[in-house]
Amino acid sequence: MDTISENRCFGGTQGVYRHASDATGTDMTFGLFLPAEAADGPVPVLWYLSGLTCTHENAMVKAGAQQWAAEQGIALVFPDTSPRGPGVPDDAAYDLGQGAGFYVNATQDPWAEHFQMWSYVTDELPRALFSRFALDEGRQAITGHSMGGHGALTIAMHFPDRFASVSAFAPICNPMESDWGRKQFTAYLGPNTALWEAHDATVLMRARGFPGPVLIDTGTADQFGNHLGTEAFAAALAARRQHATLRLQPGYDHSYFFVSTFMEDHVSFHAEALYGVTE
């Protein structure tokens, strides 16, 4: 693992690192914020999954999460959103290919060789992190924005014993019924829609639910609101009787101005769950 940069940040360290990934067959870059408490031993971890077109850097620079994580003594992980580099397939559209991995393991050509983001985020990157840094594997939470909110919700419901809590900013909640989902799932997973269900948060909520707390924020002025499926997810929450808070924030759009406004709420929400976990 190579260190690209490390900067002092709110008493801790904001680092950027690169490592060779077996899952994607490429080098992968991620950001990691370690609070001051990490110098004394392992700290809880909050994963942040980013949205379409983003790299590890967008949330790391724009979300304003480090200040609140430092106050709570929580580490932040910022993975990239897809494999990149020479030989990695791409698409001219912003919502497919590099920057648009959708946190799935692709099975279709030309994507299958490198686009194994589910395995990367849920298996390979955690193993690399916990073997090197002062992180508490027994205290993890997950959040994300847009495509990353989709990833956070689906991963949390597949790994309920791993994550104490899950939240999302303007998540893609029902991709099977959305232009942000049907196109990508067809490309990555093929036309059999039964295989898509494992990556649709609304379907998973109806079938599985999540044992911990759930927090969703979406703006009423979100310019991509028709892609998100918020109403379908709300209905699934109600049908499941899921313990959750879903807030429609008046006038907010899909941008990082929205994300940064409510980041303190989300970090505090996860801190309550993380510090409530007993060893």
Is residue 146 flagged as an active site residue?
yes
SS3 label, residue 144: strand
Is residue 22 flagged as an active site residue?
no
Report how far residue 255's alpha carbon sits from residue 227's, in angstroms, rounded to the nearest whole number. 15
Active-site option among 80, 136, 217, 222: 222
Beta strands in 10-56 (DSSP E): 12-20, 27-34, 43-49
Per-residue b/e over 252-271, b at no fewer than 16 CB within 10 Å?
bebebebbebbbeebbebbb
Is residue 222 flagged as an active site residue?
yes
The residue count for the chain? 279
Please answer whether residues 4 and 17 qualify as being in contact, where contact means their C-beta atoms are separated by less than 8 angstroms.
yes
Helix axes 65-72, 256-274, angle to 10 degrees: 10
Q: Which residues are CB-contacts of 132 (< 8 A; sequence separation ≥ 6)? A: 1
Report how far residue 178's alpha carbon sits from residue 240's, in angstroms, rounded to the nearest whole number. 22
Per-residue b/e over 175-193, b at no fewer than 16 CB within 10 Å?
bbebebbebbbebbbeeee
Report how far residue 126's alpha carbon sits from residue 34's, in angstroms, rounded to the nearest whole number. 15
Block residue for tokens 């029902």? 174
Active-site option among 114, 145, 227, 254: 254
Active-site option among 146, 165, 167, 178: 146
164's enclosing H/E stretch is strand 163-169
Residues serving a catalytic function are 146, 222, 254
